[in-house]
Structure 1
Amino acid sequence: MKPPAIKNIQTWTRLMRLEVRGLASEVGNAALALQTQWPNNGEGRKIKETSELILRLTGDAQTVGKIDEAFKQLMSSILALDSLKRLRFFNQHIGDRQLKSARHGTELFSDAINRLSVEVPRGIAQYNEQLTSEKNQKNGSPATRLRSITQPQKPGPLEYQVRRDAFAIKHRASVAPDADKANVGSARTVLLDQGRGLLLAFEQSNQDPRVTAMMREAVERLEGQHDTIALGMANIGVQSLIGVLANELPDPVIAQLRTFCVGVGMYLGQFPEWTRYAENAAMADFTSDDVDTVHAAGLELVASLRQAAPVVDDEIPRTLRWMLEAMRNPGKTSMRAVFGVIRSMENLVSIVVSTLGGWLGASNDGIKQGLTTGAKAAASIALLTAVAHLAISIAPATAGIVQTAWLVEAGKIVLAALKEK
């Protein structure tokens, strides 16, 4: 479900304060009612004290014009509420109690905390992005405005760099915590043996080329020990095609494929970057229309990237193409794939407008000359145009992701500036 647009930030903030305050009061009352059962480790008293802290933070009337202070109080309250989930006494005796409200109906205390932990920071981020956008519309050249709003690349399946005057994927080493390195190494050896055997079987058969491509990506990332999140994307894609292959492959091969996918899932769990990615993806919610929008935009992007071959390494469109297939199958797991495709697209917009956006100004300061001279100039313009259209076209699907509002604004700035060039 898409977050509604915030029409009046003062009203929204007051409503959020009232909701957070009401939840904190209910939690505190529940803890007090269980006082005789409080454990000796002090968790019962901690819950009650946290409730009282939040009531103090949200108790004073909100002063008009001091919205930043209201944001700080709200975020402090949210962090305090979220800290309760780390207490065993809360999880065992309070978290599963029901909270009733006119706005949300009946939900568990723990579910209400999870919802507010997403809703409040997302609302604040939306307001700040909107404020920045409004300021940028009034001031500065296109290049200056782009620099002020463009977000840096974020952890995702694909991150990019400029290498030898062309945009290319920036591979990142998969690093497990020291305590898990031995187990990770052993698991990787087993998975490589399984994956290579399955890949050979697929390559020698007439099976769906999509599963062969995704299995190849998974094996290559296990061999190179890099791009943990992309490995997760490939695993999601392979899992999504098992149902299609069940009627085409012998049962033992399907069993091996399932075992491989489960093993990769356990392997990924050893890497903090995958855990953080999965948590961020879980906060996003996409409809079937969002999936269709992103898929269609992705296919257009892949075609544009191939046409811009002089300045785009072939690995980018090739990898994006199989990632688009990984997100096409319904199911909760595929939502991680949708999030991954969007994040990979956002990162591409980020590096392209950061690298070529200066071209839209009065001078070419900061532009890599190898991308804007000779035969590569036309390809660079085409690429800049393509990512601008991409940024605008995927806007409906990114509404539920924090700090993505800059995309549509950047796309509009680029297209308007190119029209005037």
Structure 2
Amino acid sequence: MIYQSDILTVNDAIAAIRQSFDSIARREKEEVRAEIEPAYLKFESVRYRFAHRLMQVRRSGHVQAAGVVISELRHALIDLSYDKEFWQIASQIRITRVVRPRNSPFHDDIRLLSEIGRGMPVSTAIGILVEVLNGGVEWNEDIDREVFAANEAERDANTLRKLVPEQKIAPVQFEVEGGQLHIRQQAHSPLPGREAVVDAAAGELVRRGEDLANQLRNSNCDPRLLNNVEELQEHLKTGQNAIQIGISNLACEQLAKAFYVELPDALAALLVAHTSSVSMYLSQFSEWRDFSESAEIARVTEFDVSSISQILSDVVNDLEQDPQISDPEVPKVLRALREFLDDPKKSSKKVALAAVRTIENLVIRVFGYGADFIDKTIHKTIDRSSGVVAIALAGALISVALTAAGGLGVLAPGIEGLGWMQDAMSIVVRQLQLLQQGAGG
């Protein structure tokens, strides 16, 4: 069993080591402080985590949880002992005070901590502490196995965060709220000093767009053309997402070419003039310029466009089959984006890249959510009554992202910035399997 006095003495030993680092920081020159700072921060991370977990144990009074915390500390200290840079510094710093067993009862092995005294290298003190944790705490294979898995999961979560980039410039970005995928509202600003010009241009474009839409309603034009012009109008009215405006405008340009001969000459000219004006308006946004430049260097084939369209279809189907994991607006928006790719021969690089970056953003946000979810399961912050349901929903959402990431992987050679996915996928697959096994157990 774990005695309270054992934990208190272990905590005292940790405090003594920390104070030894602190004494160097107070007494030595700045150059020396700078030299020991990396080692100090590593130990402080271990100490802080132990103190935080110890506080949780004291509140819960759960004996087995205390065993987990002690075993976590043991693993963390062993990791430090294998860190050559840390160990070199720890061998040079001396303990500044003794450690004595606190209260009673206590395991006999805990008496070893009383050997920690002034003048002893910190590395030696850590070695004694590890020995005490090996022998002074009753061995429990289940606890140790749980701690090892938690440490692996925590390392995976941290690695995943480093691999996953920020969401890219795209028509759509995402957020996860309450375990459900949502559209994140974007607001793009015009280039500095162009705000007044952009505001005036937007007002004029909306006015002309409304006139164009009215004339199209009174003509015999194809309904798809009218629908796209109306969609462009809605984006212009909000004026916040330059990429959405740009993609809608590209669709209108393509349809204008397709149905040019079917329209009266004056109306056809008005449509071309409107899309050209919107293009000039978009040039005032750095996001659209950057996006356009990226599209120009992307190597996208007709086969790629078909693949992108299929990925979107698969994602939409998966989301619609499990409506709990996303807001209804998400599959609706993705389906609309997929419609721009209906004809691979006519789809522009910008439309293809817009779709790729949107899918990538979905993967980025869900993988980031996955890293956070792993942390919650490690630290037991998921409510027990809803844990199984939460894991099931998270697993379903992460599975959608894995499907999308797998599809995008084949496009990585031709589209810059997709190389991070393969390593991230490996971590997510491994942790998803462990989460689902744990929920099933």
TM range (shorter): 0.5 to 0.7
Identify the residue that residue 133 of structure 1 maps to in structure 2: none
Identify the residue that residue 420 of structure 2 maps to in structure 1: 406
Identify the residue that residue 93 of structure 1 maps to in structure 2: none
2:180 matches 1:166: yes
CA distance in 1, matches of 2:315, 2:186: 23
> How far has the Cα of 1:296 moved from its partner?
0.8
User: Which amino acid in the other structure matches residue 300 of structure 2?
Assistant: F
Identify the residue that residue 291 of structure 1 maps to in structure 2: 305
Identify the residue that residue 156 of structure 1 maps to in structure 2: 170
- CA deviation profile, 1:277-316 (whole Å, cap 9, x unmatched): 2112222111111111111111111222233432322332
Aligned equivalent of 2:355, options 341, 346, 357: 341
- CA deviation profile, 1:211-236 (whole Å, cap 9, x unmatched): 44533332222111211111111111
Check whether the contact 2:153–2:374 (CA below 8 A) recurs between aligned residues.
no
Identify the residue that residue 49 of structure 2 maps to in structure 1: none
- CA deviation profile, 1:253-282 (whole Å, cap 9, x unmatched): 332221111111000011122111211222
CA distance in 1, matches of 2:372, 2:179: 16
- Comparing 219-228 with 162-171, greater Cα deviation is found at 162-171
Instruction: Rate the CA distance shift 1:418–1:203 in 2: closer, same or farther, 3 A.
Output: farther
TM-score, normalised by the number of residues in structure 2: 0.56
CA distance in 2, matches of 1:231, 1:367: 42
CA distance in 2, matches of 1:298, 1:342: 9
CA distance in 2, matches of 1:164, 1:373: 13
> How far has the Cα of 1:380 moved from its partner?
3.4
Q: What does 1:16-415 correspond to in 2, within 5 Å?
A: 142-163=156-177, 166-200=180-214, 210-329=224-343, 334-360=348-374, 363=377, 378-415=392-429
SS in structure 2 at match of 1:155: coil
Check whether the contact 1:165–1:368 (CA below 8 A) recurs between aligned residues.
no
Check whether the contact 2:341–2:347 (CA below 8 A) recurs between aligned residues.
no
> How far has the Cα of 1:375 moved from its partner?
6.4
> How far has the Cα of 1:345 moved from its partner?
0.9
- Comparing 356-365 with 248-257, greater Cα deviation is found at 356-365
Question: Unmatched 5+ residue regions in structure 1?
Answer: 1-137
Check whether the contact 2:228–2:252 (CA below 8 A) recurs between aligned residues.
yes
Check whether the contact 2:213–2:229 (CA below 8 A) recurs between aligned residues.
yes
Instruction: Rate the CA distance shift 1:171–1:208 in 2: closer, same or farther, 3 A.
Output: farther
Instruction: Rate the CA distance shift 1:249–1:409 in 2: closer, same or farther, 3 A.
Output: farther
- CA deviation profile, 1:297-355 (whole Å, cap 9, x unmatched): 11111222233432322332222222223244567981011111111111110111111
SS in structure 2 at match of 1:175: coil
CA distance in 2, matches of 1:252, 1:339: 33
Structure having the higher Rg: 2
> How far has the Cα of 1:362 moved from its partner?
8.2
Check whether the contact 1:389–1:411 (CA below 8 A) recurs between aligned residues.
no
Instruction: Rate the CA distance shift 1:198–1:308 in 2: closer, same or farther, 3 A.
Output: farther
CA distance in 1, matches of 2:355, 2:380: 29
Check whether the contact 1:237–1:327 (CA below 8 A) recurs between aligned residues.
no
CA distance in 2, matches of 1:220, 1:164: 29
- CA deviation profile, 1:55-100 (whole Å, cap 9, x unmatched): xxxxxxxxxxxxxxxxxxxxxxxxxxxxxxxxxxxxxxxxxxxxxx
Check whether the contact 1:142–1:413 (CA below 8 A) recurs between aligned residues.
yes
Pairs aligned (count)? 282
User: Which amino acid in the other structure matches residue 180 of structure 1?
Assistant: R
> How far has the Cα of 1:176 moved from its partner?
1.7
- Comparing 272-281 with 171-180, greater Cα deviation is found at 171-180
Question: Unmatched 5+ residue regions in structure 2?
Answer: 1-151, 437-441
2:431 matches 1:417: yes
> How far has the Cα of 1:153 moved from its partner?
1.1
CA distance in 2, matches of 1:416, 1:236: 41
Check whether the contact 1:327–1:335 (CA below 8 A) recurs between aligned residues.
no
Check whether the contact 2:174–2:361 (CA below 8 A) recurs between aligned residues.
yes
Instruction: Rate the CA distance shift 1:361–1:170 in 2: closer, same or farther, 3 A.
Output: closer
> How far has the Cα of 1:360 moved from its partner?
4.8
CA distance in 2, matches of 1:242, 1:192: 18
CA distance in 1, matches of 2:321, 2:220: 29
Cα RMSD (Å): 3.2
Check whether the contact 1:158–1:169 (CA below 8 A) recurs between aligned residues.
yes
- Comparing 313-322 with 295-304, greater Cα deviation is found at 313-322
Instruction: Rate the CA distance shift 1:237–1:368 in 2: closer, same or farther, 3 A.
Output: farther
Instruction: Rate the CA distance shift 1:402–1:186 in 2: closer, same or farther, 3 A.
Output: same
CA distance in 1, matches of 2:298, 2:418: 12
CA distance in 1, matches of 2:354, 2:202: 23
SS in structure 2 at match of 1:298: helix
User: Which amino acid in the other structure matches residue 188 of structure 1?
Assistant: A
> How far has the Cα of 1:387 moved from its partner?
1.0
- Comparing 402-411 with 280-289, greater Cα deviation is found at 402-411
Instruction: Rate the CA distance shift 1:163–1:192 in 2: closer, same or farther, 3 A.
Output: farther
